[in-house]
A and B are shown apart, each in its own frame.
Chain A
Amino acid sequence: MKGKWFGGGAALVFVAAAVLLFTGIGSGSAKEEKKNSMRIGVLLYRGDDTFIGTLRLSLEERAKEYEKETGIKVTLDVMDAKGSQNTQNNQVERLIGLECDALCVNMVDRSAASGVIDKAMAADIPIVFFNREPVEEDMNRWEKLYYVGADAKESAVLQGQILVDAYKKNPESLDRNGDKTVRYVLLEGESSHQDSLIRTEWSIQTLKDGGVPLEKLTGGIANWERSQASALMDQWLKEYGEQIELVICNNDDMALGAIDAIERNGYLIQTIKVVGIDGTPVGQEALKAGKLFGTVESDRIQYAGAIFDLAAGLSMGEKTDAPKYYWSSQKPLTNGRELLEN
C-alpha cells in the first residue's frame, strides 16, 4: 500500500515537473547571449522645466556616444508626465509593457515612488531615479534601485559662498544703501521637493556664518517656475521697492523670473543682485549679460552620464558595484567682471 502511495506521489511529482517545464518556471535565464541593443525608458516630471530639459538633451547625447563607442543600439523612450503622478504611473506601465531594460525616473511626487517600484520589481526592471529623490525606505526596498542627483546642501553652500565672497570684497556690492544690513527676498522651489528646504536653509546659514548681516523682507514658493517667480517679484517690488537689495533663488529659472520683473518695473538690473542655482544655459547667458549675479553649475554632462551609464550597465545585465547614491559635482559661477569692478 505504502509503495503504491509512493508511486502515486512520484506520478504527481512528475506531472508537476512537466508543468514547470511547459510553463518555463525555473528554466533559468535564457538571456545569456550577448545583447546588441537596449531599451531605456526615461520618465520626466515636467519636460518644460529648463534644468530637466537640458538634462534630457545630455542624456540623449550620451546615449548616442555610447552607441558609437560600443555599437550597441540604444532606444531611449522619453516621456513627459507634465506634473501628474497619475500620468507618470501610466507611463511606467506602458514602458514596462514595451519591455524596457531599465527605467530612469524623475518622480513627480517623490513620496509616491513605492507604486513605481512595485511595478518595476514585478517586471524585474531596475530603476535609476534622478533629480527628485525618493524617501530612504523606498530606496532600500530593492537592490536594483539607484539615485543620481546633485547634493542640495553643497549647492546651497556654494551659492551662499558667492555672496559671502562678494560682501567681503566690497560690502556695498550687496548692501547698496550702506546701512550694514542686506535686505533680501527669497524664492523657493516646491515645498515637497527635498532640495527646496535644504537649499534655502544652507544658503542662508552660509551667509550668516560668513558674517553677512541679513534681514529677510519676505519669501514665497514659486515652484521652480520662471512665470510664478516673476509674478511674486512684481508684487514684492510694489510692496518693498528699493528696499530689496538681494534676491536669493532656489534655481535659475526663478532667478530669471525675478530678473524679468525687475526689468519690467524699470529698475536697473545691477542694483538688485539676483542669485540662482543649476547653471542652466539660459542662466549662464544671463550671467554673461550681467543680469544674474551668480549661480551654481551642476555638471550636466557628468550628471546625465552617471544616469545613463548606470542604466546602460544594468540593462546589459552587468554586475555593478556602483553605490546606491551618486552625487554629481558642482561649481560656483559668478559674473567675474562685476566682482572685479567692485
Chain B
Amino acid sequence: MSNREKVLWCTAAGLLVFLFLLSSTDLIIKEKKREVYPISVIVEDTNDEYYANFKKGMDKAAEKYQADVNFITLYQADNEEEQMEMMQREIKDGARAVVLAPVNESGSIMRIDEISPNCPVILLGSTRVNDSVAASISVNGYETGRELAEQAVKEESLDNPVWIFTEGLSYTGNTDLYDGVRSVLDEMGFSYRLVERKNEDTYRQAIEETVYPDARQAAIIAMDAKSLDEASDIIGGSTVYAEHVTGLYGIGCNTAILRKMDRGLIKGIMAVNDYDEGYLCIRTAVEAIQGMWLREQMFMESYYITGEDLRERRYEKLLYPME
C-alpha cells in the first residue's frame, strides 16, 4: 500500500469519527438548551377539588412559558406548619419560584420573611407584598363580600336573619370578605350571625336550628367554596331544610357547586375566573424568575352568577374553560 493510500485511509477514518462526533454528540455543535423553570404551587387543601379550572390555566401557562409545575397539596388541610415545611422542601429541591396559597396570611408572611427564600414567592389569595413576596394575586375581598351581600339582600326579607358560614376568619382573606358582607347587612338593617366551622356537625347544627326547637327561616351566605359545598349538601339532603332556608349564597365554585346551582339549591355565587388566575400565577412566577422583581398586587375580577346565568355565553368560558 502506497503512502498516498495510507493517508487516504486515515483521512477517511478521521472523517468518519468527525462525522460521528458532529451528528451524535454535542462536542462540536452545542445544542441550544431550552431553559425549563421548575415552579412549585403549594395550596392549602388536601386535594385539587376546588382547583380544577385553576390547574387548567396553570398547565396552559406552563406549556407556553416552559415551566415544570409541581402542584402540591397538603397531608392535612389548612395545616400552616406543614405548608411551610413543604415550601422549604421545594426551595431546597430546586424550585425557582413558589406560588403559595397561604393558610394564614400573616403567619405565612412572617415565616417567609424568616426563611428568606432565595427564589420569588407569589402569594395566592393574599393582598400583601414585601421584600420576600414578589407578587400577590387575589380578589378584592371586601368588595366581593359587599357585592354578594347586596345581591342576597335583594332576594331576602328583613324578617329573616342571615347566617354567615365560614371555615374560619383566621384563614387568608376571610376577614375582608366578612367585613364586606356585614357592612351591607348593617346598612340594610339585617340581623346576622357568624358561624365558624369547628367540626363536621357545625353547619348541620346551625341549619337544624331553623327547624327545631323553634321553626323559623334564615338565609345563608357561605364565605368559601368548601362551606358552600357542605351547606348545599345538607340542605339538599332534606326537603324540610329547604323549606326553612330561604336562600343559599356563596363564594367560589367547582363542578359540584355549579350542578347544585343548576338544581336550584344555591341561589347565587361570586365566582372568579380560576383559569385566568392559574395562568397568571405561572406567568408571574416565570417573569419573577427572569428577573422582573414585581412587588405587585394583582386583583382578579369577581362576578355574581345565578342559576339562570349558567348557560349564558359570557359565563361559559369562565365556568367551563376548555384546555
Contact = CB atoms under 8 A, between A and B. Distances in A.
A73 interface: yes
B89 A73 contact: yes
18 contacts: A1-B1, A8-B9, A12-B13, A19-B17, A19-B21, A22-B27, A23-B24, A23-B25, A57-B47, A60-B47, A60-B73, A64-B73, A64-B75, A68-B75, A73-B89, A73-B93, A75-B70, A98-B68
A19 B20 contact: yes
A82 interface: yes
Nearest to B49: A57
A105 to B, nearest CB: 18
Contacts of A37: 93
A16 B17 CA distance: 8
Contacts of A73: 89, 93
A4 to B, nearest CB: 8
Interface residues of A, number: 17
Interface of A: 1, 8, 12, 15-16, 19, 22-23, 37, 57, 60, 64, 68, 73, 75, 82, 98
A64 B323 CA distance: 27
Contacts of A16: 17
B10 interface: yes
A78 to B, nearest CB: 9
A12 B73 CA distance: 56
Interface residues of B, number: 19
Given A19-B17, A22-B21, A82-B323, 20 more contacts: A1-B1, A8-B10, A12-B13, A15-B13, A16-B17, A19-B20, A19-B21, A22-B25, A22-B27, A23-B24, A23-B27, A37-B93, A57-B47, A60-B47, A60-B73, A64-B73, A64-B75, A73-B89, A73-B93, A98-B68
A75 B25 CA distance: 31
A68 B323 CA distance: 33
Interface string B243-261: 0000000000000000000
Contacts of A75: 70
B323 to A, nearest CB: 7
Contacts of B1: 1
Interface string B1-41: 10000100110010001001100110100000000000000
B124 to A, nearest CB: 20
9 A-B pairs closest in CB distance: A23-B25, A75-B70, A15-B17, A64-B75, A12-B13, A98-B68, A22-B27, A19-B17, A57-B47
Nearest to B34: A97
A82 B1 CA distance: 68
A22 B73 CA distance: 42
Contacts of B75: 64, 68
Contacts of A57: 47
Contacts of B20: 19
A101 to B, nearest CB: 14
Interface string B167-201: 00000000000000000000000000000000000
Contacts of A1: 1
A8 B25 CA distance: 25
A12 B6 CA distance: 13
Nearest to A94: B63
A12 B70 CA distance: 48
A68 B74 CA distance: 11
Contacts of B17: 15-16, 19
A23 B22 CA distance: 11
Nearest to A97: B36
Contacts of A23: 24-25, 27
Nearest to A9: B13
Nearest to B68: A98
Nearest to A36: B93
A51 B323 CA distance: 22
A254 B54 CA distance: 29
A19 B75 CA distance: 49
- With most chain B CB atoms within 10 A of its CB, the pick from A60, A73, A82 is A73
Contacts of B21: 19, 22
